[in-house]
Amino acid sequence: MDRIKIVGGERLKGSIPISGAKNAALPLMIATLLTEDRLTLKNVPNLADVNLLARILRNHGVDLAVDGKRVGGTSHLGETFHLTARDISDTMAPYDLVSRMRASFWVLGPLLARMGEAKVSLPGGCAIGTRPVDLHLTGLKALGADIEIDGGYVIARAPKGLRGGHVIFPKVSVGATHNVLLAAALAKGETLIENAAREPEVGDVAACLVKMGAVIEGIGTSTLRIQGKPRLEGAVHAVLPDRIETGTFAFAVAATGGDVVLEGTRRDLLTTALDTLAETGATVTDTDNGIRITRNGDGIVPIDVETQPFPGFPTDLQAQFMALMTRAKGTSVIRETIFENRFMHVQELARLGADIKLHGDTATIRGVKSLRGAPVMATDLRASVSLVIAGLMAEGETLINRVYHLDRGFERLEQKLSACGAQIERLSAG
């Protein structure tokens, strides 16, 4: 199993290209199940999760052709996927595939909407909590689906097709919003989704559906109104920049006292996180092609944060921000309101010398003068990259184990950091 070695103490300087957003690419790929025509997606990141979903879609009969980056092309523009689901060969998504990536459960809505039936494995728990699918199922039932759970599988039927309905989510759920939004695009009549997730990735999927012929009002708001169509057409769509990768590298630059331009990204995708970063003493400046992050030799100011759905502080940046706060001049408090069990990185940060105390959903971080490199273990995707940030700050060598988590959500992480002066390398197994 691969590991990553970091020798800390180097300031990051230069530029880092930001990849397409994984959290948008996945539901955009799934949207191909809604049409017989070709869907072309540009700026798709080369990630383990994307490759796994491609395998799952092929299992349903989707034809996929991939164009790579061209020599001399813009560095942050990823691969181009051409997806065609002319014939759905299988409406079942088996456990051995769905269990490996939770987002694959989102095929349920599109398969049901187009084929009138679907059998999809329950995804089960995960490292950061149970994240039940009840909101997905309630939303699809509101569109007329008959749903039962048998043998660990969700069996959904709508032999006469889905019909428009009124869905009110009791709490914000990005996954459930994706699932119901995709299904509603082919439902008969109007669907109203209230308390929908407002994350930019949801808006990106909605924008693509509009290109495919769907009629959607309220994109970017918590109320979505969808006029279902009997069929959707093909389209060409570019995946928006990854705001979580943007924030991760922004925090890494601030942590090392660096000066880096994050290319191909936008401030509006994570305004709250960047405003919070500025409060810590970093400078955030818009440029012609991205965002510049700088921090001089002054210390890091401790800031309290609470994770919230968009436009609040993202839960997917909580671990990275905690790594930054381990070196702050004072005490900061982080409250995690989205997922339970999302503090598993704390004990690994402690191995590097961090002073963190947990109480329920709250972490209190007392900044220390220095961190010391040590062997650590990644526990989930976002936690693993927090260890990278801590390792960049630490004195000596940090060795991160189980880095397959990183490969799920960060494209060419070591190359991007090493190009800015970080001493980081991947140690291949064997």
> Could you tell me if 157 and 224 lie in one domain?
yes
Residue for token pair 């093909």: 234
User: Mind listing the pLDDT tens digit for each residue in 255-304?
Assistant: 999 999 999 999 999 999 999 999 999 999 999 999 999 998 789 999 99
CA atoms of 2 and 220, how far apart (whole Å):
39
* Phi, psi angles (nearest 5°) of residue 10: -95, 135
- Read off the pLDDT of residues 76-115 as tens digits, 9 standing for 90 and up: 568 999 999 999 999 999 999 888 888 899 999 999 999 9
Q: Which amino acid is at 419?
A: A
> If you search the block for the tokens 């070196």, which residue do you land on?
327
Asked, for residue 237, whether it belongs to a domain, the answer is no
In this structure, are 52 and 201 located in the same domain? Answer: yes
Write out the residue range of the structural domain in which residue 421 sits.
3-15+242-427
Beta strands in 105-219 (DSSP E): 117-121, 146-150, 153-157, 166-168, 190-194, 215-217
pLDDT tens profile 380-398: 877 789 999 999 999 999 9
User: Do 8 and 32 share a structural domain?
Assistant: no
Q: Is 134 marked as binding a ligand?
A: yes
**Residue 236 forms part of a structural domain:** no
* 324 and 379 share one domain: yes
Q: Write down which residue in 229, 255, 272 finishes a domain.
A: 229
pLDDT of residue 69: 56
The answer to whether the annotation marks 133 as part of a ligand binding site is yes
In a domain, 143, yes or no: yes
Report the domain count for the chain: 2
Q: Are 138 and 108 in contact (CB under 8 A)?
A: no
Q: CATH number for the domain including 411?
A: 3.65.10.10
135 among annotated binding-site residues: yes
Binding residue per annotation — 305? no
**Dist CA 147 CA 226 (whole Å):** 22
Smallest CA-to-CA distance from 193 within 182, 181, 210 is with 181
Q: Average per-residue pLDDT in the chain? A: 93
In a shared domain, residues 102 and 130: yes
Read off the pLDDT of each residue in 210-225 and give the average, rounded to a whole number. 98
| C-alpha to C-alpha distances, 125 to 60, 133, 331, 378, nearest whole angstrom | 24, 10, 33, 18
- The pLDDT value recorded for residue 129 is 45
Tell me, yes or no, if 126 is annotated catalytic.
Answer: yes
Residue range 263-273, pLDDT digits in tens: 999 999 999 99
Q: Does residue 327 form part of some domain?
A: yes
Same domain membership, residue 317 and residue 209: no
Q: How far apart are CA 86 and CA 298, in angstroms?
A: 58
DSSP classification of residue 295? -
Tell me: pLDDT of 73 over 60. Answer: no
Same domain, 246 and 172: no
Whether residue 29 lies inside any domain: the answer is yes
Q: Flag the least confident range among 77-91, 333-347, 365-379, 406-420.
A: 333-347
Asked if residue 196 and residue 65 are part of one domain, the reply reads yes
| 338 domain-assigned | yes
Answer yes or no: do 209 and 62 share one domain: yes
Query: Of the candidates 198, 229, 260, which is a domain's last residue?
Result: 229
Tokens 């009002």 label which residue?
217
- Long-range contacts of the stretch 69-72 (C-beta < 8 A, 24+): none
* pLDDT computed for residue 76 by the predictor: 56
Residue that terminates a domain, selected from 195, 229, 263:
229
Enter the tokens of residue 25: 């690419």
Residues 97, 23: Cα–Cα separation, whole Å: 18
Whether the Cβ atoms of residue 61 and residue 102 lie closer than 8 Å to each other: no
- Which residue, 159, 177, 138, 132, is CA-closest to 23? 177
Instruction: Report whether 174 belongs to an annotated binding site.
Output: yes
171 in a labelled binding site:
yes
31 and 165 both lie in a single domain: yes
Instruction: Provide the 3-class DSSP secondary structure of residue 379.
Output: coil
Q: Are 270 and 396 part of one and the same domain?
A: yes
Return d(Cα 134, Cα 191) in angstroms, integer. Answer: 19
Task: Tell how strand 13-17 and strand 259-263 pair up.
Answer: parallel
Q: Cα separation of 241 and 244, whole Å?
A: 9
Assess whether pLDDT exceeds 90 at residue 70: no
> Which residue is catalytic, options 126, 301, 374, 399?
126
DSSP 359: E
Q: Within 13 Å of residue 382, how many CA atoms lie on the same side as its CB?
A: 27
Q: Is residue 419 part of a domain?
A: yes
Pairing of β 117-121 and β 423-427: unpaired
Q: Is there a binding annotation on residue 172? A: yes
In a domain, 59, yes or no: yes
Residues 218 and 250 in one domain: no
pLDDT tens-digit series, residues 104-144? 999 999 999 999 999 999 885 444 344 578 999 999 999 99
Q: Degrees (nearest 5) of the Cα angle 248, 251, 254?
A: 150
H helix runs in 212-317, sequence order: 243-256, 271-279
**H or E stretch covering 211:** helix 200-211
- The bridge status of strand 235-238 relative to strand 38-44 is parallel
Distance CA 48, CA 377 (A): 19
Tell which wins on pLDDT, 378 or 23: 23
